[in-house]
Amino acid sequence: MHNRKATAIGLGKYPDVSLRLARERASEQRRLRAEGVNPVEQKREQRAAGPKTSTFDDCASLYIADHLAEWKSSKHAQQWTNTLSTYASPHIGKKAISQISTTDVKRLLEPIWSTKHETASRVQGRIAAILDWATAHGLRQGDNPARWKGHLEHLLAKSTQSSRADKHHAALPHAHISEFLLRLQEQDGMARWALEFLILTAARTSEVTGIRLNEIDLARATWTVPKERMKAGKAHRVPLSTRAIAIVKFLTPLTNGEFLFRGGKADRPLSNMAMSMLLRRMGYEEITVHGFRSTFRDFAAEMTTHDFSTAEAALAHTLRDKVAAAYARTDLYDKRTVLMKEWEQYCYATAPAATTVITREGAPR
């Protein structure tokens, strides 16, 4: 209401404008009104003053649009969007493209350079390409702060990824998950089945070790984790893939009647440390069980066309922003079902195909 007259300002059309962007725009409008500024009049003044300063996110969108024709599929464009929105936008998305510095680029890459080097290298290359595009279009001047040769190569620690044995990082790179599962299938014991199930569901350790048989609905291929075992204190539905269901069916006759993954004592579930100990026995001393959630998250961002919200919902991450939470009327179960099927297919790309039946030869000992 301005001068006792109702006014409205659009936030953009869905799906061109994401929920996150709409939320940020709405927050900005509220801030302006609180300061006594009429957003509608301000927008008119900005139009009259000329084009706004282009941000990194603006240029990223234009770069992707410019290259759609030469890219083989829309999936490639979505992978660019997912990677940038996950790793670049939170740091430099709203910054003027002309003001992005070496410090900005280095700061966003450092946290993932040693733990997710393949991803970090991809992010660096994409940022560099967008900055080159911006320079060519007269939106910035000077050297590219994201260039590798003769610049970032001297500022970021050299990666040992090319010679590593996949066991020196907290999170396994998603490109090696299939190879890991091949080795896991050679292991004995209940922890072997629990870890495979954890990987397939992208769940937390305590959620998996505490599974009770009555939490699983085989007819609907759904596992419902009660709120008591969820970090956010809210029940969480998990769609089960073909292989996950096969594991449940195989282990059910071997349980103690309550817990799917039985522990050393008849009435106890598997220990929370069992899977970590298994990793150490396999030689993966630096990888953590929790790290497989990061492996899944990187897969979703880099190898699929699923949006940020679907991947976050699969990990049962709570929306921190109250505005976003208000719009989250659904747990995106159907979308997550598709995502988890794609994850299973990726996991067994080179390992033996996931089957609906597990033979007695694979019984835990």
For residue 229, give the CATH number of its domain. 1.10.443.10
What pLDDT, on the 0 to 100 scale, is given for residue 50? 44
218 and 338 assigned to the same domain: yes
330 and 224 assigned to the same domain: yes
| Any domain includes 318 | yes
- 297 compared with 50, residue with greater pLDDT: 297
199 and 226 assigned to the same domain: yes
Residue 37 has pLDDT above 70, yes or no: no
What is the three-class DSSP state of 203?
coil
Tokens representing 89?
A: 């936008």
For residue 219, with 0-12 CB atoms within 10 Å meaning exposed, 13-18 middle and 19 or more buried, which class applies? exposed
Q: Which distant-in-sequence residues (6+ apart) come within 8 Å of 213 by Cβ?
A: 252, 255, 257, 258, 259, 260
Question: What is the reported pTM?
Answer: 0.56
Domain span at 43: 1-50
Residue 118 has pLDDT above 50, yes or no: yes
- 246 compared with 166, residue with greater pLDDT: 246
| Any domain includes 169 | no
- The residue out of 18, 34, 50 marking a domain boundary is 50
What pLDDT, on the 0 to 100 scale, is given for residue 360? 52
- 129 compared with 69, residue with greater pLDDT: 129
What's the pLDDT band for 364 if we cut at 50, 70, 90? very low
Q: Prior bond to 269 cis, omega within 30?
A: no
pLDDT (average), residues 168-176: 78
What pLDDT, on the 0 to 100 scale, is given for residue 78? 84
What pLDDT, on the 0 to 100 scale, is given for residue 317? 85
Count of domains in the chain? Answer: 3
pLDDT (average), residues 167-172: 62
| Any domain includes 197 | yes
Tokens representing 174?
A: 């998603």
Distance CA 158, CA 121 (A): 11
DSSP one-letter code for 217: E
Residue 48 has pLDDT above 60, yes or no: no
pLDDT (average), residues 31-44: 68
192 and 283 assigned to the same domain: yes
Residue 168 has pLDDT above 70, yes or no: no
pLDDT (average), residues 51-59: 84
pLDDT tens per residue, range 186-234: 998 999 999 999 999 999 999 999 999 999 999 999 999 998 888 888 8
**Left if phi > 0, otherwise alpha if psi is -120 to 50, otherwise beta: which for 144?**
beta
235 and 354 assigned to the same domain: yes
Question: Is 124:105 a contact under the CB 8 Å cutoff?
Answer: yes
204 and 116 assigned to the same domain: no
Residue 15 has pLDDT above 60, yes or no: no
What pLDDT, on the 0 to 100 scale, is given for residue 190? 93
86 and 34 assigned to the same domain: no
Paired with 55 in beta bridges are 96
Residue 365 has pLDDT above 50, yes or no: no
196 and 299 assigned to the same domain: yes
202 and 342 assigned to the same domain: yes
For the chain, give percent helix, strand, coil, nearest 5. 55, 5, 40
Q: What average pLDDT is seen over the chain?
A: 82
